[in-house]
Amino acid sequence: MSLPTCCDDIRVDVSRKPPALELIDDIQGVSTTLLTSHIPNPTQCTTDMFLFPVEVAYELTPLVLWTGKLHPVAVRNSNKSIVAEIKGDESDSLPSGQYTIDIMSIEMKVYLVVDGPVTIRSESDRGRIIDCSDANTVRFGLRSFHELPAATVTTTDRPYDVMRAFSCLGSALKTTSCERSFPTLRGHPPLFERGERFQAPANLERTEETASVRIEVPPSLEAIYPIAPLAYYLNAIVRPGDTPRIVTADTTHPLDRGDGLEAGAARLLKRVFTLDCITRTEGFYPFPLKERATLEERLLDAGLEIDFATLYEQPLVERLDEYVSIPFDLFDDLVPRWPLTADVRPLGKHIPFLPFVVQSLGTIRCLPLSCQRWTGSISPVIEEFCRQTPNDECSIQDNDDESTVRGDRSRSSEDADFPTNIYTPPETDSITQLWLADGYPLQGAKPTIDSLKRRFDTSSIDEYEVAVVSNDTEMRAESNVTELYGQREQITFDVTMYEDLSRSELRDVFTKSYDLVHYVGHVDAEGLQCTDGWLDAHTLETVETRMFVLNGCRSYFQGRSLVDAGANGGMCTLSNIANTAATRIGRTVARLLNVGFTLGGALGLINEESLAGQQYMIVGDPSTAVVWNPQDAPRLVELTPTSDEDAFVADLQTYAANQSLIGSLYLPSVVDSDMYYIGSSNITEFTVSEETAVEFLQEDRFPARIDGSLVWSDVTKL
């Protein structure tokens, strides 16, 4: 199968010393290396023989290749049936035949099509070895994980037109089977723009003739907005109705089950998505899934039985009816941690933001329109903290980490610009919280529409460029974050350290194409501290820096100016913060970004760690990341000692590497198990020996919580 995509951005280079294939995806800015037994000579060929979509394909002379890591591998025959699944240190040999080899957990989709015998084995130093040296032909195909919207829909602010626009969202799905729960089979929904009349490309809008599911809600933006992700995932049409409900040919399902439309829509989305992930194990990827095993055990205890094989073959409507019949309390704890919750004031100006929320399968909650300013509460401790002058602020104690002590100098001057309408959004267990309203969200993200659209900008990335700027001698302790960026295998970083920059020099830094600028210094109403005064980011006409961390007091306004001038996103503060706390948080953020966390994921972790961390927010796109590997999700492990001194309970949390990637598969290496999990899940209660825990911590670099403190796997000891 082929995709109509220019393959100039997806390509292969050949390395001679050592012999290797360099697989390059300039769309995502990632690459990976497959070492080979001899210098390869790839020749571009047709993509028609591949079972799954690829954007470019090559033919190779028979060879042996290895991946460098023990990537899971699935082998299918010509009937698409899996004939071998190799993971961990397993091996397998297959007789002569026609095989498609899916190399998983790699930076792009890589498929080998082999005609002949294949041997797959593992070695600790070379990773997964795939021996096709005796094959007749060997071809391999590549596909980027990047998705672009295929169209733009114009709508007025009138509820009926917005409903029609929402009826176009499902056009981006590549399938309505339960495989749509895989992120690569959910395309980016069309963009929305406001206009004087509704306009959409032909065949984009779902109609009664082309869709089998209808969503009815009252004709108000407050009722319409929350069902956007559901309309997308169900490929539904949206129509006005007095009662919020799902309507099919034979049945209706109420959306409000006593706790409101928003909660009902979110619950149904999570129900259908999770059961799709479980049911799809009957299809192309029949891997053992922990969530399915748990649900089947609970169904048995409840005297219920679900035939997943039959369910898999049913069309969308029949599956939906069956899903709704399964009590949600049997699997509500199996729902993966949701990537995004958006709190939205239901105004027309927020319509263009909604496709980006939908692309993440984010849930939507509407803020009330009845008051000029939302009456959501600010934490009393933070509210008092935000009222302090810098001298008073220095007396606040952070009991979690003693990061703010009496006399500890803050990172601003007394006249720092300070927003008065700061809010703590309603609680959510999502990884990231988006704020689409007036005011400024503590512990949340406030994007601009231009910053979200910049995620579509692509450019070739040979190496990641990071600049660390230290403009205050008393803050030099944070400058050693330069040592933390770039500690990644198979990823090249160029980290530049700047100290004591003038205004013109700092201006030049922001106008260069850095992937990240980490600024350490004072911030006040005049701008960012420099040796000859203050650089006001409002004066920057163009910013080429993709991402930034402004680790100074009340840095939101300067950060917003960087985004307005061209940056994708960055992390800022909304109050004073003492040097000690800022230094610790700055180092933590650097480590998190370095291992693949998005801005949103990093913010969520520092929020959980201390009161000081709760004073940070994101301006711009929270899905921005320095590095991105869609199949190597960032993770956090919490180790709790058991009564047995030589054992631990491991609680593993995976984070979607990009907010659209909920639904991928994850195989934990902390235990010797063949059970997969739904990506972005809490993978809990593994009891492991101390030796196993130590080996797991040493296999890679990731955050770990031990005895309640956030530490790093490569520098901690049990």
Say what the pLDDT of residue 688 is: 85
Contact yes or no for 468/495 (Cβ under 8 A): yes
SS3 string, 411-436, reads: CCCCCCCCCCCEECCCCCCCCEEEEE
Say what the pLDDT of residue 5 is: 35
For residue 406, give the nearest of 419, 417, 421, 396 by alpha carbon: 396
Q: Point out which residues pair with 21 in neighbouring strands.
A: 14, 34
- Cα separation, 704 vs 217, in Å, equals 44
3-state secondary structure of 603: helix
DSSP H helical ranges for 394-531: 449-453, 503-510
**Strands (DSSP E) found in 179-308:** 191-194, 214-217, 237-240, 245-247, 252-254
DSSP string, 343-372: EE---GGGGGGHHHHHHTT-EEEEPPSSSS
Contact yes or no for 247/320 (Cβ under 8 A): no
* Residues in CB range of 528: below 8 A, 6 or more apart: 471, 506, 519, 521, 522, 534, 535, 536, 537, 550, 552, 558
- Cα separation, 530 vs 569, in Å, equals 22
Say what the pLDDT of residue 179 is: 93
Say what the pLDDT of residue 387 is: 43
Say what the pLDDT of residue 296 is: 97
Say what the pLDDT of residue 3 is: 32
For residue 337, give the nearest of 291, 384, 383, 400 by alpha carbon: 291
> In the CATH scheme, what is the code of domain 380-431+439-620?
3.40.50
Mean pLDDT by 10 residues, the chain (718 residues): 47 91 80 91 91 89 91 90 89 95 86 96 88 96 83 97 98 92 90 98 91 97 98 98 95 93 97 98 91 96 95 96 96 94 97 97 89 45 45 33 41 52 86 93 94 82 82 73 64 83 97 93 91 96 95 92 97 87 87 90 88 90 82 81 83 72 82 80 78 83 86 79
Q: What is the largest CA-CA distance in the chain?
A: 76
Contact yes or no for 440/423 (Cβ under 8 A): yes
Question: What pTM value is reported for the model?
Answer: 0.85
